Amino acid sequence: MLIIAEYKTYISKYLTLDKLYNFLWNILLILIILTVMYLIIKAGNILIDKSVSRKKKNPLLLSENRSKTYGYVLKSILKYAVYFMGVLVILSTVLGLQGLTFAGIGGLAIAFGAQSLIKDVLNGFFILFEDQYSVGDYITIGDKSGIVEGLELRITKLRDFSGDLHIIPNGLIEKVTNHSRGLRRVMLQIDIAYEENIDNVVKVINNVCSLYSKEDPDMEEDAKVYGVSSLNDNSVSISVIGKSKPLTELKCEMELRKRIKDEFDKEGIEIPYPKIMVIKGE
């Protein structure tokens, strides 16, 4: 009974009705601030998407990938700005820390490792300013390759062909290889039997390549035979080279191989493959 009496005394002394009211009011105020932050970010993202979509329709302003990139960066800036201001409002209004200044907060942030954050943001700015890559580009950063799925001031999101998403801080990016700038080489090695007439085979391949280049808008430079690349043990290799738009070279190579194989079958041109000859004695 004595313990219960002391507990009631403690509650009445430290947990008054006014303190409880202030505590609940602060919780409500924090929830209101978080809701306002969410609504501002949501509305800002909608406005940014509308602005980016308008720029996409006018290629004279920005390319589609460039427009997407600016959209991601603007959303990133909006998000960080709203978060920063929201934290300041909560600290000063709700928690009553009016004495905190921007300089004090900045010093506190640096003490907790904001140097890396500043490095990420600065490097992200230079990536955007120098147009090193854009959303939708196929790039290689270090040992990671993939399509740029998102570019923000602090991070780059890279999706590889296996589906894995790599999130790389911009401050760690030192070297970038962009595979999406300029035309890509389409190259085939076609093997034929030694018994075939090379001039006839070259004519057939060039006809197939010329027709395909006219049908596929991804082919920027007609593929054609460049000559005999090697004489192998069982075959003659013929090189076929052309140029295509970025990220389409594999598709063009596969389609050309199929069409050349179909035309070889029609013309009776033999592609060498292992054979077993059985000779029966008397």
Whether residue 279 is contained in a domain is answered as no
Distance, CA of 263 to CA of 240 (rounded, Å): 15
Q: Are residues 173 and 188 in the same domain?
A: no
Tokens of 243: 């140029």
**How far is C-alpha 114 from the geometric centre of its chain's CA atoms?**
26
* pLDDT at residue number 155: 86
Whether residue 110 is contained in a domain is answered as no
Q: Which residues, in sequence order, are bridge partners of residue 221? A: 243
Is residue 64 within 8 A of residue 56, CB to CB? The reply is: yes
Q: For 37-57, give one letter per residue: b (16+ CB within 10 A) or e.
A: beebbeebeeebeeebeebbe
Q: How far is CA 33 from CA 37, 79, 85, 89, 91, in A?
A: 6, 14, 10, 8, 11
Q: Are residues 68 and 155 in the same domain?
A: no
- Domain of 156, CATH number, reads 2.30.30.60
Whether residue 106 is contained in a domain is answered as no
Residue 255 pLDDT level (bands cut at 50, 70, 90): very high
Q: Are residues 189 and 258 in the same domain?
A: yes
One-letter amino acid of 259: R
Tokens of 178: 């962009």
* pLDDT at residue number 113: 55
* pLDDT at residue number 137: 87
Q: Which domain holds residue 154?
A: 129-178
Q: Are residues 96 and 14 in the same domain?
A: yes
* pLDDT at residue number 242: 92
Q: Which of 178, 211, 243 is the last residue of a domain?
A: 178
Whether residue 159 is contained in a domain is answered as yes
Q: Are residues 66 and 154 in the same domain?
A: no
- Domain of 237, CATH number, reads 3.30.70.100
Q: Are residues 47 and 134 in the same domain?
A: no
Instruction: Provide the 8-state DSSP code for 94.
Output: I
Determine the average pLDDT of the residues in 221-247: 89
> What backbone torsions phi and psi does residue 178 show, to the nearest 5 degrees?
-100, 115
Whether residue 274 is contained in a domain is answered as no
* pLDDT at residue number 101: 52
What is the pTM for the complete model shown?
0.60
**Collapsing DSSP states into helix, strand and coil, what is residue 61?**
coil
Distance, CA of 220 to CA of 223 (rounded, Å): 9
Distance, CA of 190 to CA of 14 (rounded, Å): 88
**Number of domains observed in the structure of the chain:** 3
Q: Are residues 191 and 228 in the same domain?
A: yes
Q: Which of 79, 100, 121 is the last residue of a domain?
A: 100
Tokens of 56: 């996409």
Helices (H), 157-222: 198-215
Q: Are residues 11 and 51 in the same domain?
A: yes
Sheet holding 219-231, edge to edge: 184-192, 236-244, 219-231
Residue 254 pLDDT level (bands cut at 50, 70, 90): very high
- How do residues 74-115 score in pLDDT, each as one tens digit? 787 788 788 878 877 777 766 665 544 555 555 555 555 566
- How do residues 158-215 score in pLDDT, each as one tens digit? 998 888 999 999 888 888 988 888 888 999 999 999 888 999 999 999 999 999 988 9
Residue 1 pLDDT greater than 60, yes or no: no
Residue 11 pLDDT level (bands cut at 50, 70, 90): low
